[in-house]
Amino acid sequence: MKRARWLAVFPLTLSVVFLIAAQRRSSQAAAPEPGDDWPVYGHDPGGMRYSPLTEINRKNVSQLKVAWTFHTGDVSDGSGFKQRSGFETTPILVDGTLYFSTPFNRVIALDPATGQQRWAYDPKIDPTWDYGDGLVNRGVATWLDPVAAPSASCRRHIFETTIDARLIALDAATGQPCADFGEKGEVSLREVPRYHNGWYHMTSPPAVVDDVVVVGSAINDNNRVEMPSGVVRGYDVRTGKLRWKWDPIPPNAPDASSKPFGQTWWSGAGNAWSIMSVDPERHLVFVPTGSASPDFYGGARLGDDKWADSVVALRAQTGEMAWGFQLVHHNLWDFDTACPPLLATLEHGGRKVPVVIQGNKTGFLYVLDRDRGKPVFPVEERPVPQSTVPGEQTSPTQPEPVAPPAIGRQQMTADDAWGLTPSDRETCRKAVSSLWNPGLFAPPSLQGTLNIPGSIGSLNWGGYAFDPRSSLLFVNNNNIPYIVKLISRAQMSEARMHGPRGEYASQIGAPYGMYRNVLFSPSGLPCSPQPWGQMSAVDMKTGKIRWQVPLGSMRDVTTNCALCHGSGTPGTTPPPPSANAPKLSEGSGSLSLGGPIVTAGGLVFVAGTIDPHIRAFDAKTGKELWQAELPASGHATPMTYRLPDGKQYLVIAAGGHPKVREEKQSDSLVAFTLP
C-alpha cells in the first residue's frame, strides 16, 4: 500500500530517471569499444591465438572486404643465384603500430588503419646463401623498457632474428638500431660449433621473458652427420650480452656402446626452429626441438637422442632445464616437434590444470602438466617396427597418447590407394604394394618405405588455436604420403643421375644417402584418399574430436603442378594432364602450411592452403562461412586487432611458399574489415 502511494506521488520523477538511464545505456552501447592489440606471435605469451574480439562474428563475417593491401617488394622466384622466397610472417600490433618481417628480413612498420608505411629497416642479408628453408621469416618480437622515459630512444625494442644468423634490436618508434644493444644494434649468432654460412639460420621470431630474449635456430636437413649445434641461447634485452645457453644434444656425449665409426656418439641439430612460448608467472620458456642430424639414419647417434624431438621447459633467467618430454625417440622420419607449445588451463579430474598442449608431425597431441611435464591424458610406450638397415638401432617403443586421437591419417594400405582415374588408382595401388609398409614409425629401408604422414607432417609449424571458453582446440593437418629410401654411398651418384625425380640427400658421414618424395599418381595428385587437408576441433576436456571438415582444394594441382619440385625438395614432376582430364571437387582438401586463430565472435580463421584463399569457419560446427581469394597462397598464420575507433581488422601475409611451386607468388600483406 505504501509502495503504491510512493509510486503515485513520484510518477514524473521516475519517468525522468528511467529516461536518463535509457539514454546512458544507449550512449554506452554506441561508444566504441577499446582497442585490442596482438602483441606477440600467438596473441598472448602462451600462444593460444585467441582474440576476445566480437565485431566480426558469425552473422556478418560474409561481409568482410579488403581494407588495404601493402606490397613489400621483397619476392624472389629463385633465379639469379637467389633463394626462392615465401611470405610466412604474422605481424604484431603494439602502441598503435603494426610490425612485421619480410622474406628478405626487412622489418616494416605500418599504420594499422591504412596500411601506410611508417618506417622500414633493411639488415641487408645475402640472398644467395644455401638456406635450407628458402627466404622466409615468420615475424618479430617486442619488449618495452619499464624504466625508460616515454621519449627515450629504444624505449620499446623490436627484435628480429635474421636468416644469416643475427639478432637485431630496433627502436620501435624510428626503426633505427638500438646503439646500446650488442654492436650497433645487433649480436652475431654464428658462434656455435660447426657453424656454416646458410646451413645455420633463423626463421622464427625470438621469445622475450624476464628481460631475456631467447633464440633458437633452423639447420639444414639431411646434409651430413655433424651439423651445427642446435643450442638455444638467452640474451640480455638491454645489452645483448649472452646470459645463458642450453644444448638439446650434449656435444660428443660418451657412450661406449655407440662407436660405429670408431668415435663416441656424435650428431648435430636437435634445434629449436619453430615458435617458442613463455609463461611469465612461472618464469619459463617452452622450447620445441627438432630432429638430430642426419634425419633418416641414426647409426651414429644411437639411443633416444635426448633432448631432440621434445618439448622442454627452461628457466628464463638461467637456461636451466625444469623438465623435458620427448615426443619421438631416435627420430628417423623428420618428425620434428614443429608446432609451437600452447599454454592453456583445462578442467581435468575436477580441477583446473595449467597445461602445455604440444603437437607433433605424427599428428599426435600431447597434453602435459605445465609444472612437471607429466602427461595429463595418458601416454603409452608402444612397440614399433624395427629397422632392417645394417648399423641402425631403432627405438623399440614410441610414446603414443591414449587421448586425444591422432589428427589425420597414420596408415594406408594398397586398398586405400586413390586416383583421379582408374589408371591412376591402379598405379598408386601397385606403388603402395611395392613399399615396406608396416604402419606408423616404419623406419626408412633399402627397398623403400611408405610413411604417412611424411616428413611434411600431419601437423607442422602452423600449429593450432585454443578457445578458453569452450576448451576447443582448432588444428589444421595434412594427409600426404611419402616414399623414403636409403641408398648406399656407392650407389648415390647413379641414383641421382637415373633414379626418379625427388629429393636426394648425401647424409655425409653416414653409410647411406637418402631419397624421399611425395607418393604421387600420374596425374600429379597424392595417392592417399581425400581429404588431403583438414580442419578439426578437439574438445580438450574430453580428449575427443568434436568436428572435422576438409580444408581447401587441390583441384588445380594437375594444371599448375603446385607440389612439383626439383632436386632438394620433396615432389616430382608428373606428365601434363590432357585437356579432357577429370577435375577434383572443391572439397578435396589441401596441403596447408600456416595455422589458425580463433575469436570470441565464434570464428576460426585460417589460410595456408595451396588454393590462394583465406577462410572463416563456425567454431561450433565447422561450417565454412566465408572465403576470400588472395594474391597468392597465404602460407602464414593470420592475426586480428581492433583499433580505438572500434573497427576490427583481419590480416594475412599472402606470398606463396619457397618449396611449393605454385602458379602465383606475391609480396602482399592483406587486411580485411567490415564495410
In one-letter notation, the amino acid at residue 451 is N
Question: Please, what sign has the CA dihedral across residues 128, 129, 133, 137?
Answer: negative
Treating both helix axes as pointing N-terminal to C-terminal, what angle do 2-9 and 11-30 enclose, rounded to 10 degrees? 70
State the alpha helices, DSSP H only, in 348-420: none
CA torsion 425-431-433-435 (nearest 10°) is -150
Return the closest-CA partner of residue 316 out of 206, 479, 169, 417.
Answer: 206
Reduced to 3 states (helix: H, G, I; strand: E, B; else coil), residue 488 is strand
Q: How far is CA 629 from CA 56, 169, 612, 615, in A?
A: 18, 35, 6, 9
Reduced to 3 states (helix: H, G, I; strand: E, B; else coil), residue 465 is strand
Residue 498 host element (H or E): helix 492-498
* CB proximity list for 7: less than 8 A, separation 6 or greater: 14
* 334 labelled catalytic: yes
Return the closest-CA partner of residue 638 out of 592, 590, 675, 674.
Answer: 592
Identify the active-site residue in 44, 309, 334, 336: 334
Question: Please, what sign has the CA dihedral across residues 163, 167, 173, 175?
Answer: negative
Strands, sheet with 156-161, edge to edge from the N-terminal-most edge strand: 141-144, 156-161, 166-171, 186-188
In eight-state DSSP terms, residue 71 is E
Tell me how far apart the alpha carbons of residues 359 and 336 are, in angstroms, rounded to a whole number. Answer: 10
Q: Is residue 651 a contact partner of residue 669, using CB atoms and an 8 Å limit?
A: yes
* Residues noted as catalytic: 334
